[in-house]
Structure formats: structure tokens, C-alpha cells
Amino acid sequence: MKVSLSWLREYVDLPAVTAHEIAEKLTAAGLKLESVISYGHDIKNVVVGEVLSIETLEGFKKPIRHCQVEVGEAAPREIVCGATNFEAGDRVPVALPGAVLPGGFEIASRKTYGRLSDGMICSEAELGVAESSPGILVLPGDTPIGADVVELLGLRDDVIELEITPDIGYALSIRGVAREAAAAFDSAFIDPADVSPPVTSGPAYPASIADPSACDRFVLREIRGFDPSASSPLWMRARLSRAGMRPVSLAVDVTNYVMLELGQPLHAFDAARLTGEIVVRRAEPGETLETLDHVVRKLHPDDILITDGSGVISMAGTMGGLHTEISDASTDIVIEAAHFSASGIARMSRRHNLVSEASKRFERGVDRELPLYASWRAARLLAELGGGTIQPGVTHAEVEVEPLRVTIPSGYPGRVAGTVYDRETVIHRLEQVGCAVEGAADETGGTGGTAADGIAAKLTVVGDDMLVVTPPSWRPDLTDPNDLAEEVIRLEGYENLPSILPAAPAGAGLTESQRLRRRVGRSLAAAGYVETLSYPFSGERDFDNLQLPADDARRLAVRLANPLSEDEPLMRTTLLPGLLKTLVRNVGRGFGDVALFEAGLVYRPSPDAPAVAPVLGVDRRPSPEELASIESALPAQPLRVGVVLAGEFEPSGWWGKGREADWADAVEAARVVAAEAGVTLDVRADRHEPWHPGRCAALYAGDVLVGHAGELHPRVVEAYGLPPRTCAMELELTRLEQSPVGRPQAPAISGYPVASQDVALIVDAATPVAPVEAALREGAGELLESIRLFDVYAGAQVGEGKKSLAYSLRFRAADRTLTVEETTAARDAAVALATERTGARLRGA
């Protein structure tokens, strides 16, 4: 909303402050400042002149005229001008030599087209009044010669541009902003809607409301004998331009001007093109309308329309129809002002992708009481400026609406703010937003509002503490005590609120699940991974890129009703797409060695879950059956941890060549996570998309599958544009939390020395390492402290199709020093069990 300061000062008695000071006050009241724009402050030495004579110069491609202009000096000035819309005797603005026009454009005497041009005759655009103009600005004939044009036309002005949030639609008008400025400066407010329409009987043009849910007030006034050639006055065109609207014609400009001034959108119909009674209704199947932008629109059954005997003539509150448009021949005009359904206009505007200044105001809520006053204000302007005659009578179709009443304790705003507001302050601030106080005039000094306010908010004192408030008609956003408390707090000043830290609630601190998640994050960060956060959305393309089979459970996903992107309309069922896209983005920006992790929820709906969750009312507590129906529609939301890594995991440097990340690093990341949960993972070979079939590990906690890790399939790498041999791990932390690990115990520390035995076993090349190690661990018995695989060899010395696994076994007893015989026996028992289970044999045996 662009607010002209000169316009604003007409309705609020502002002190001698700058535009920036006014903007600061409005910002403090909750109206966000976008910018402050100054007009006309750089213009100087522009005066009124009278054209004495005009000589048309011949021999040029365009009309060139040499003018003698009287500017109140000793002699007329010679000025060359290319415009042709003025004649001798007209009075025009003249920029004298040395003058400065908007944008720092300086005027000087110069010779052009063979003649001396000692100044410049100015148009509206050159004076900064409009963006463009068809010719020279011709002033009224009684304008004093030599008068300062800037002062005469009020060209110096400041415009404050405000960002208006959806909850304060009343501020999309000079009236609304003036009310806020009056409260901010504690100044008198003059309501521009405080006009007195004549009390007349009988309707103007006939009209009715067929659908009360679409419109609850519809007003028509009629003007006859309007001069279609009459132009809008300069002051009106200037204010419209500075408010960001293009002047069109007097009839259109008046409706736009009143809309900006009062916040009530209006529409003007050519009365000669209307047929029969006007009816406000919803659209019928198959109806269309060619709107003012020359687009034929197919109407929806929920669209709110204005119709007559010929059919649809306007999309209510959004855009009029082309058939009833005001033209250059329109002499009889019907002015329409109404109060339409805010939600209905908002849906219609979005449905047709048609946003207008009117729809922006209607969907935010306009003052229901304004149509009578705004239509009279517009009719008077049309009659005064266009020479028309206002016809007696007014059409006023209305549906009764019960006003909302809100009960609030007088101390409630103070409790919300954490401070104390006395009862008189609360009543005073509510008056400033439009409240009329009944029953407390002695304490508050009377009422706050005007006759034009219609349903002003009525404040009645109940007992000693309770206040019953009927919000004002221009504030449909005030619906409960919190809204009223906010008004009191913001008018008292947010900057005056005390800075008090909230008291910490009593409790046991973080849950065990929260502690585990934090430990996992810290441990992965310590291992060299960087945490990332991704949007929890995905698309069918991600499932294809991950090479998931058609029957994979991860393809069953929750679809969003209103997705941020049509490419990602689903809730994620795996963390990998977000991590892989982040990795690609980092690699594309020159970071080739990347190790990322993310912890977050995935959403896994049940195959038999209902497609849509039931929507319950808020008037009562849901029944157990209703709660169960909601629960059944919700997807399972397990917590998962994922990592991806590419490039060097151990960096190169002066110490030597680094080490490329491989599948073992992904498996180790899973072990790091599991260790924080007190779980030892069992790693088994597996085939599971999107991992490489020969380099994929299934991760088990006991008999429970908790995740997978390994190197990604080459097709997945190609689909996402990943570096070669990218690795990943995904593990379900929720299942680790549920593992029965019991209370953690500190390990016993023996004071006796360790005894080491190495053993090399030859097994088939296809034999996994895990069962061999498990057999050795079990066969070695209680004396085994640890086991470590330190070498894998395949070559001619072990035979074709075989491999050698070399293990280091560490033995220790808690109560004695072990003998060679004891450790050898334990080693032999371990080898024997490995031979029995896996067919292993000692190398060299």
C-alpha cells in the first residue's frame, strides 16, 4: 500500500514530523515499511505561463512550434515545443532556464530547429505527476501567471510504501492507515467515510441477493447525464499515480480513488447496457464471461457473480465484464458497492489466476458498513467532476448478520504481555481501534467512533473486571480475547514490553531417545561427517533413480495435498535422495571430498491405510473411535540416520597419498551409530537397492534388520550424477532404541598381561568373513579378549578360488597369567570350530 503523506494529513492531525518518523511509528504499530519515496522536492524554477502566439515551423518530420510565452517577466520568452495539444491563450507550466525537473534534469537556453528556446513547456510526466502523458499540461484559465507551479499544484509530496499482512486488510486504504497514524501520534482522526447520504425512499436500479453465503450487502446508486469526455482533475491523477494505479478515465478513476481512500472496492456499470434486475448469485454450469482484460473465462459453480437479464456481467469483487464496461459514450452510470464473502472471493481469484486491487481487499475483509457511504462518496465525485445528476433513491439489498461479541477480562492483555495495563488503558486502546464504550463513559471519556463507522465495536463493562466487546465492522480479524489483547499490546508499544526469560518447566530433561540422537550426531561429526538438513519431500523420479523395484515398499508414499513443488509431491520414505542431491551440489561447487550425514524421520504408510484422514470438528473432544481412525490414517514415522561419502575419506598431504572412501567406511559409520546405542552390529552380505549387489551389507542387531550400507549401484551413480563409487549407509535408529541392551556396565580391567596368537585360515573365496569370525570367537571361549582381521590374501600360494584370512587373537584372564598351553588350546579350539562350520583350514597345514 502506497500512502501519500499529503493525502494522509487530510484525515489525521499529524505533528510537524518527517515521512521517515511517521514510517517508524507505523512500523512500531505493526505496519511493515517497504520504502519512502519523495516527489517534487528537487523541482525548482517552474512557473505558470500564458501562450501568447504559436508559429508552426515547416520542413521537419514532426510538428515543431515556436511559441511566445508570457511568464510574468519584462518580456515574453521564446520556447520551441513539439506538443500540439495547447493553443494560444492557454496557461501552461514553464521551466525557465536554470530550472531543475525530476531526476536532476536541468533546463538551459539553447538554439534548436533554427530558433532560440529559452525554457521548456512541461507535461505531467516531465513534472513527475504521471509516468506518461499525451501532451502538455494545460492549466485552468484563471491560474495566476508567474505563480510557482510546485506550490500551486502541490507537487512536493512523500509516499510511504507499507507491506500489509493478510490480517489487517483495513490498512489497504488511506482511512485505515490514518486511523493507525492517529493512534500512534495520539492525534485527532477525521473519518473520510463520515459523509451523510440523503435519507431517500425507494430503490435506484433494481437488485437482489440470491445467495446469502456469497454476499450479505449490495448497494446501487445511479448517476445520469454524466459527461463521458470529462477528465479527472490533476490532483486525483497525481494521487492515483503515486499510489501505483494508472489513471484511465473519470468514471474509473473515481472508483479507484474511493477504493484507495476508504478501502471499499466499487464498480461502475454502463446503465444503458444493463438488462433487467441485477442479481448476485453463484455460477451455473456452462456459464462464461469475457472480462475487461478481453479473456473469455469458463466459470466455476462456486464463483460469485453479478448478473442481469442478459446473463453474467461481472465476477464479483474481482473483475467486471466487457459488455457493461464504461465507454466514451456512457452517460448513465450505475455505481455498485457490496460486501462479498472473503473466502469466496479469495478462492475465485486463485481459481482463475486473476488478482486485482479489489480482490486483494475483499479476500482480506472489508468494512461491511461502508457500501452505503462509499457509493455516495463516489456518486458525489462523479456528479461534481463529470456534470452528472445523482438520481433519488438507493438500492440496498441486505442479509442480517449477527455481530460477534467477545468477552475479555480487563487484566487479560497485561497477563499475555507479562506486564500490567490498568483497566482504563485497556478501554482507551480498544476505543482507538474503533470501540464505542457503553456504561463506562465517566471513566473513559465517552465513545470513539463516528456515525459512518456503522457497527462500531461496543464495549460494555460487566461487573468489576469483565469486558464484553463487539469488534468494529472494519476489523473482521478480531474474533477472540487474544486478538483484542494484541491490539492493546501493540498500541502500548512492543518496545515497552519487559524482557523476561520464561521459567524453565520442571522435568527430567532430555528423553533417552533425544540423548541418543545427540550422541549419534556428535559421534558422526567426530568421525569426519558434516550434518545436513534436507526437505522431507521426494518424487517418483527419486524412486526410479534409486532403481527401486516396482513392488518395493519404499514406493508407497504419502502424497501431499498442496506440495511446494510438483516434482516432489511425496513425503520421503528414505533419507538417501536428499543426501545424494546435497552431495551432488557440493561436488558441483568444487568440494570433491564429501562425507555427509542426516538424522530425520521418514514416512512409511501402511498399505491398508485410508487415503484421506478424517477431518473432525473442534466443538468437542474426539471419541476413541475417531482418534483411532486418525491414527490408522497416519503413516509410521521411524527415525533414521543416513550417511553418504565420496572422494578421499583420509586426505592426501605431505605425509603421503590419501585413501578413497569405500564401502567399509559406510559400514564403519553404522558401527559408530550402533555403538552409541550400546549395540554390536552383525554385518551380512545382501542384495538391496540402491546398493551394488556385490558390495552391499545388511546390518542386524541380533535378528532384527536395522539398515544397509555399502557402495551404490553404478546406475544410481549415473542417474544422480554422483562421483564414481559413491558409498552410503541408512540405518533405522528407532529399531536400535528398541534393542534390549539393558543397563550399561563398566568393563572389568584385568591386571594380568595379554597373550597374543595369530592364525591364518584358508577358505573358499566366496565365504563371507563374518561367519568365520563368529566361529573363531565362539570357539576361543571366555579367555578371548578381542579378535581382529589384519590381512586378506588371494593368490597362487593359497590356490585358485581360495583366500587367506589372517586374524590376531588376544587372550587374557582376570585372575592369572595365561600359559602358552592355555592360549594354544584356546586357539586350536577356535580353529576347529571354524573348520567345522566354514570348511576353513590352517594355512601351511
HEC per residue, 181-201: HHHHHCCCECCCCCCCCCCCC
Q: How far is CA 116 from CA 79, 81, 119, in A?
A: 7, 11, 9
Residue 161: pLDDT over 70: yes
What are the DSSP calls for 587-652, one per residue? HHTT--SEEEEEEEE--B--TTS-SSPPPPPSSSPPPHHHHHHHHHHSPB--EEEEEEEESEEE--
Q: Which position has the grid cell 566361529?
A: 775
Query: Between the CA of residue 794 and those of 58, 761, 840, what are the distances in Å?
Result: 103, 12, 14
Contacts of 317 (CB under 8 A, 6+ apart): 265, 304, 338, 340, 345, 358, 359, 362
Q: Which residues contact 515 (CB under 8 A, 6 or more apart)?
A: none
User: Is the pLDDT score of 459 beyond 70?
Assistant: no
**pLDDT score for 770:** 86
The beta strands (E) that lie in 171-262 are given as 207-209, 215-224
Place of cell 481512500: 261
Q: pLDDT by residue (tens digit) across 318-340?
A: 999 999 999 988 999 999 999 99
Reported as a pLDDT band with limits 50, 70 and 90, residue 743 is: low
Q: What is the DSSP letter of 321?
A: B
Round to whole Å and give the CA distance between 295 and 746: 79
What does the buried/exposed string (b/e) look like for 273-306 if buried means 16 or more CB atoms within 10 Å of the residue's CB? bbeeebbbbbbeeebebebeeeeebebeeebbbb
For the cut 90, the answer to whether the pLDDT of residue 747 exceeds it is no
Alpha carbons 194 and 374: distance in angstroms, whole number: 10
Q: State yes or no: pLDDT of 135 exceeds 70.
A: yes
* Number of DSSP helices (H) and strands (E) in the chain, helices first: 22, 42
* Average pLDDT score over the chain: 90
Mean pLDDT check: name the lowest of 60-64, 131-135, 700-704: 131-135
Whether residue 64 contacts residue 57, with contact meaning beta carbons closer than 8 Å, is answered with: yes
CB neighbours of 296 closer than 8 A, spacing ≥ 6? 288, 289, 290
Rounded CA-CA distance 357/319 in Å is 9
How confident is the model over 408-457, as pLDDT tens digits? 888 899 999 889 999 889 888 988 888 765 544 334 333 334 434 444 44
pLDDT of 740 reads: 63
pLDDT at 317 over 90: yes
- pLDDT category at 206 given cuts 50, 70, 90 is very high
> Which pLDDT value is given to residue 744?
67
Calculate what percentage of the chain has a pLDDT beyond 70: 96
Q: What phi-psi label fits residue 27: left (phi over 0), alpha (psi between -120 and 50 degrees) or beta? A: alpha
Rounded Cα distance, 144 and 124, in Å: 19
| C-alpha to C-alpha distance for 813 and 425, rounded to whole angstroms | 82
Structure-model confidence comparison of residues 641 and 656, the more confident one? 641
Q: Is the pLDDT of residue 529 over 90?
A: yes
Give the residue-averaged pLDDT of 541-552: 94
pLDDT: which is higher, 579 or 614 = 579
Mark 732-760 as b/e (b = at least 16 C-beta within 10 Å). Answer: bbbbbbebeeeeeeeeeeeeeeebebebb
Residue 134 pLDDT exceeds 90: no
DSSP bridge pairs for 78: 68
The distance in angstroms from the start CA to the end CA of the chain is 92
Q: What is the pLDDT of residues 19-59, one digit of tens each?
A: 999 999 999 888 889 999 988 888 999 999 999 999 999 88
Residue positions counted in the chain? 845
pLDDT band at 731 (very low <50, low <70, confident <90, very high): very high
CA 645 to chain centre: 34
Q: How many CA atoms lie within 13 A of 751 on its CB side?
A: 1
Over residues 662-699, the pLDDT tens digits come to 999 999 999 999 999 988 899 998 999 999 998 999 99
How far apart CA 176 and CA 167 sit, in angstroms, is 13
What's the pLDDT tens digit per position in 767-808?
A: 888 899 999 999 999 999 999 999 999 988 888 889 999 999
SS3 400: coil
714 burial type by CB count under 10 A (0-12 exposed, 13-18 middle, 19+ buried):
middle
Q: What is the pLDDT of residues 210-229, one digit of tens each?
A: 999 999 999 999 999 999 98
